[in-house]
Amino acid sequence: MMLFIRTINMRKITAIVFLFLYLSANTELKQIFKLPVFVAHYLEHRQNDRNIGLVDFIVLHYFSGDIKDADFNRDQQLPFKRICCTVYIFLALPADNSAVLHHILFQEETVSFTFSPQFTSSSFHLLIWQPPKA
């Protein structure tokens, strides 16, 4: 019984890991990995201006357009600032095993040809190209 519960938990964990790997590699969920940059940049702004709050920081960087200030390159490293459209989707479908193979029996056909004398070549036709004989 305990082994059965471990197997179910292991399957759930494996499914969650694969789902997370798929979503982080093939969707914009990978932007979450940039959250440390977001926090560090917020703290930089906080050092320069003590009155800036988190909402003000978000409005400044996400809802005020792209302001080309001194830290523009740093602003572009924030999550969800640039959309990367490289998506690789690998789809694996199970093989269709419903194909039924039938044995095809070959039958030998006999074809008979008849000989017709009208299609035979003769040397008579070559006489037209001979010089006249005296």
Buried b (16+ CB within 10 A) or exposed e, 78-114: bbeeeeeeeeeeeeeeeeeeeeeeeeeeeeeeeeeee
DSSP 132: P
pTM of the model: 0.50
Question: What pLDDT score was predicted for residue 38?
Answer: 92
pLDDT tens series, the chain, 134 aa: 555 566 678 888 889 989 888 887 777 777 888 889 999 999 999 999 899 999 999 998 888 888 888 888 888 888 888 766 666 667 777 776 666 777 777 777 888 777 666 655 666 666 667 777 76
CA distance 60 to 46: 13
